[in-house]
């Protein structure tokens, strides 16, 4: 059985490596290290299919050192220790350290990562880790501090086109077929910047359609071969957080089109509807707030509706709420207010409650002055009587500041001016 196209096309030398010029181009940091014959431990962070494993293999091949590889999915602490023992036995005096490549290093537990520290620090091994997740969240700080971090980018359009051309002209199998790339938009779009996915799609299309020795690749042919769009959306990965971030920021930025697009990405990616609904409720409180209190009501109603009717109809109330929130005036005065109040509590500690605000359910409490002097607001004109509601140490503090960009919040501000006058000016 022949190797998959993606494996057959894996570059063996740095000059054949496509993309990541900021790391491997002339004068770049990794190229300089490879040329010098000495490299430090590093972690490659980037999306799938951009060449992390390939780059690690090229580094080891260029330096001509033993290359060990472990998968965080299937390896344990014992496997790590076994590799370190082998590395110690194969390293010669003053030679470059053997390389240990760990794919998906973010899946290593803390104890597994701890087992690497000594060998990395002593130089017994040179660690190259690969991850699709943000290392600052997934890699322990002591290990991260011992490694350089290099970020790999999605392959650009010109990189992917170069890869397609090389596969068609250089691959031992595809070069035997008369292939014409008449259209490439579908190939590039469905690959999503992932070289492995691009080559897998190309191989699928050629396998299904090259029986007569001549193949003209069009967008329609690619769509027909794939049937469905292989969307990239990992509900437990960083893309999950990137997309929900884009969704929330679109609402905050008053862009209903952006909100609907990122919601559609989540829906097509299989996101749980209650997760989307919860984010809408948070956005209604944090970003719309007092500028339009109805936003929170609608977000709550959308949550209830989607839990009652489920998919696929649940997308409709969620979309209604997302558009309404995006189009609403914005205020985060309540969000900032509670943040300021929390900061004060952490700074000043447990300030005593003024006596007049305390309840007096017993005779002793009343004798001690509890509730003495409290003014019951409803007994006064306008249902308001000025008195101190903050602790003595904080009696002049302000936490809520109105934002004057909506009639709703402006009415609240004017009410406060009427009640408290100078305090709220």
User: What integer pLDDT is reported at residue 323 of this predicted model?
Assistant: 92
Q: Residue 138 pLDDT more than 80? A: no
3-class DSSP state of 176: helix
- How many whole angstroms separate alpha carbon 332 and alpha carbon 119? 50
Structure tokens at 120: 């990395």
pLDDT at 46 over 70: yes
Q: Quick check: 58 pLDDT over 60? A: yes
Q: Which has the higher per-residue pLDDT, 186 or 280?
A: 280
What is the band of 26 on the pLDDT scale with cuts at 50, 70, 90? confident
Q: How far apart are CA 3 and CA 9, in angstroms?
A: 10
What would the mean pLDDT of 23-47 be, rounded to a whole number?
86
- Whole-number Å distance between alpha carbons of 391 and 205: 73
Give buried/exposed letters for 109-146 (b at 16+ CB in 10 A, else e): eeebbebbeebbeeebbbbbbbbbbebeebbbeebbeb
Q: Are strands 126-131 and 99-103 parallel, antiparallel or unpaired?
A: parallel
Compute the distance between CA of residue 49 and CA of residue 229 in angstroms, rounded to an integer.
Answer: 17
Residue 91 binned pLDDT confidence (cut-offs 50, 70, 90): low
Selected residue with higher pLDDT from 71 and 7: 7
Residue with tokens 């957080």: 241
At residue 282's C-alpha, the angle toward residues 231 and 276, to 5°, is: 25
- pLDDT 10s digits, 253-279: 888 888 899 888 888 777 788 888 989
Whole-number pLDDT of residue 228: 52
**With left for phi above 0 and alpha for psi between -120 and 50, is residue 91 left, alpha or beta?**
beta
* pLDDT mean over 180-205: 85
| pTM higher than 0.75 | no
Q: What average pLDDT does range 114-140 have in this prediction?
A: 84
Minimal CA–CA distance to 32: which of 66, 69, 61, 62? 62
pLDDT of residue 212: 67
Name, of 43-52, 85-94, 229-238, 356-365, the range with top average pLDDT.
43-52
User: Considering only CA atoms, which of 57, 116, 58, 55 is closest in space to residue 87?
Assistant: 116
Question: Which of helix, strand or coil describes residue 380?
Answer: coil
Mean pLDDT of 314-330: 91
Average of per-residue pLDDT across 326-354: 86
Mean pLDDT of 338-346: 85
- C-alpha distances in Å from residue 373, one per residue of 1, 93, 351, 366, 383: 91, 85, 20, 11, 17
Would you tell me the crossing angle of helices 273-283 and 238-252 to the nearest 10 degrees? 40
Q: What's residue 215's pLDDT?
A: 85
Q: Return the number of other C-beta atoms located less than 10 Å from residue 105's C-beta.
A: 27
Distance between CA atoms of residues 233 and 271, nearest Å: 9
pLDDT score of 229: 47
Asked if residue 395 lies in contact with residue 280, where contact means CB atoms within 8 angstroms, the answer is no
Q: Which of 150-154, 228-232, 390-394 has the lowest mean pLDDT?
A: 228-232
Q: Lowest mean pLDDT of 54-58, 155-159, 212-216, name the range.
A: 212-216
Q: Give the residue among 135, 132, 111, 153 at the shortest CA–CA distance from 48.
A: 132
Compute CA distances 319 → 245, 273, 303, 306, 325, whole Å: 17, 11, 11, 11, 10
Dmax of the chain from CA atoms?
102
pLDDT, position 239: 59
pLDDT > 60? residue 372? yes
Give me the phi and psi of 214, to 5 degrees please. -130, 130
Neighbours of 206 (CB within 10 A): 20
Average pLDDT value over all residues in the chain? 83
Q: In this predicted structure, what is the pLDDT of residue 211? A: 67
Q: What pLDDT, on the 0 to 100 scale, is given for residue 2?
A: 65
- The predicted structure's pLDDT at residue 74: 72
């Amino acid at each position: 059985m022949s190797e998959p196209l993606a494996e057959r096309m894996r570059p063996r030398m740095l000059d054949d490596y496509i993309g990541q010029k900021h790391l491997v181009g002339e004068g770049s940091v990794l190229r300089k290290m490879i040329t010098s014959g000495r490299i430090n431990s590093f972690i490659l962070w980037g999306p799938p299919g951009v060449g992390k494993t390939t780059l690690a293999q090229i580094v080891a091949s260029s330096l001509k050192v033993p290359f060990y590889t472990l998968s965080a999915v299937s390896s344990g602490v014992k496997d790590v220790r076994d590799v370190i023992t082998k590395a110690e036995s194969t390293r010669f005096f003053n030679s470059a350290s053997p390389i240990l490549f760990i794919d998906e290093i973010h899946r290593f537990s803390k104890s597994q990562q701890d087992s690497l520290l000594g060998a990395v620090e002593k130089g017994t091994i040179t660690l190259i880790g690969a991850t699709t997740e943000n290392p600052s969240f997934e890699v322990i700080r002591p290990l991260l501090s011992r490694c350089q971090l290099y970020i790999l980018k999605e392959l650009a359009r010109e990189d992917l086109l170069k890869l397609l051309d090389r596969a068609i002209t250089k691959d031992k199998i595809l070069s035997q077929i008369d292939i014409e790339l008449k259209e490439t938009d579908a190939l590039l779009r469905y690959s999503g910047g992932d070289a492995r996915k691009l080559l897998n799609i190309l191989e699928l299309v050629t396998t299904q359609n090259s029986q007569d020795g001549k193949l003209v690749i069009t967008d329609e042919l690619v769509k027909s071969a794939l049937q469905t769009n292989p969307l990239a959306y990992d509900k437990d990965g960083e893309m999950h957080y990137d997309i929900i971030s884009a969704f929330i920021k679109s609402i905050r930025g008053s862009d209903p089109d952006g909100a609907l697009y990122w919601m559609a990405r989540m829906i097509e990616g299989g996101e749980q509807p209650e997760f989307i609904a919860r984010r809408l409720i948070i956005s209604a409180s944090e970003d719309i707030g007092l500028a339009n209190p109805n936003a929170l009501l609608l977000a709550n109603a959308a949550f209830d509706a989607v839990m009652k009717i489920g998919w696929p109809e649940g997308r409709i109330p969620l979309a209604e709420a997302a558009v309404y929130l995006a189009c609403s005036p914005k205020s985060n005065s309540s969000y900032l207010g509670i943040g300021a109040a929390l900061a004060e509590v952490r700074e000043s500690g447990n300030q005593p409650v003024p006596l007049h605000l305390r309840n007096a359910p017993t005779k002793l409490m009343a004798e001690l002055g509890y509730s003495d002097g409290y003014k019951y607001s409803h007994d006064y004109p306008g249902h308001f009587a000025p008195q101190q509601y903050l602790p003595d140490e904080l009696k002049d503090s302000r936490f809520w500041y109105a934002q004057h960009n909506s009639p709703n919040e402006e009415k609240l501000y004017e009410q406060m001016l009427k009640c408290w006058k100078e305090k709220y000016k």
